[in-house]
Amino acid sequence: MSADHVLLLGPPGAGKGTQSKRLAEEFGLEHVTTGDALRANKHMETEHGTPASFMNEGELVPDAVVNEIVQEALSSTDGWVLDGYPRNLSQAEYLTDITDLDAVLYLDVDRDELVDRLTGRRVCEECGANYHVEFNPPETEGICDACGATLVQRDDDNEETVRERLRVYDENTADVIDHYRDEGALVEVDGEGTPDEVFERIADVVRGD
């Protein structure tokens, strides 16, 4: 049987969202993404402040807020692909406490390519589809192919915040990759090439080929 507790790791812009959506469709999994969950609640007041106050600066939202989102999402579904979590070692420990994992993948993409992917990203807030002005443009500029809504640039996809997110990734999330690598669980996948090519590499791992 194919893996149904799938973790997709990688730096911002590696293609986690793009590939998780496809995996979810192909393998009948739920796409659990902390980024989307936080954006849907970005003005929610918590004792630490709103998610937006961290996200717009490119900083991590406090663990307590994110852990609760993940715990609730995973406990209400059997099969899932988790995207955007864990982002530090303490979140990784929390995840180990609440569930097991069948496959841990790491999408590897060159740093310059990440900046180009992130600053050119456009998203549909209505249906969640994502595009790139150059690498994956919609049929009509600025309009979602899937639902016709107007595409927007995320508040944190400007070059300055992108650089900060990559710095935060190096400072916090690189350790998470090492942690799974040390455990022998990590499967590294080349994240460059077309989305179709990358998907085939990932799907082989999830199928257990």
User: Can you read off the two tokens belonging to residue 52?
Assistant: 């937006």
Active site residue 22: no
Per-residue x/- marks for Zn ion, 105-124, CB under 5 A? -------------------x
Q: In the complex, what is the shortest distance from the CB of residue 31 to Zn ion, in angstroms, rounded to a whole number?
A: 15
Q: In the complex, what is the shortest distance from the CB of residue 2 to ligand ADP, in angstroms, rounded to a whole number?
A: 21
Crossing angle of helices 174-183/89-98, nearest 10°? 50
Q: Tell me the CA distances in angstroms from 201 to 116, 165, 197, one per residue in order.
A: 22, 26, 7
70 versus 144: smaller Cβ distance to Zn ion: 144
User: Is residue 147 a contact point for Zn ion (CB under 5 A)?
Assistant: yes
Residues near ligand ADP (CB under 6 A) are 10, 12-18, 34-35, 38, 54-55, 58-61, 66, 84-85, 87, 91, 117, 120-121, 130-132, 135-136, 156, 165, 194-195, 198
Residue 61 binds which one of ligand ADP, Zn ion, none, with CB within 5 to 8 A depending on kind?
Answer: ligand ADP
Q: How far, in Å, CA of 175 to CA of 208, rounded? A: 26
Active site residue 207: no
- The order of strands in the sheet holding 80-83 is 30-33, 80-83, 5-9, 103-108, 186-190
Q: Tell me the CA distances in angstroms from 162 to 9, 11, 25, 41, 110, one per residue in order.
A: 17, 11, 29, 21, 14
Residues with catalytic annotation?
16, 87, 121, 154, 165
Known binding positions for AMP:
34, 39, 59-61, 84-87, 91, 154, 165
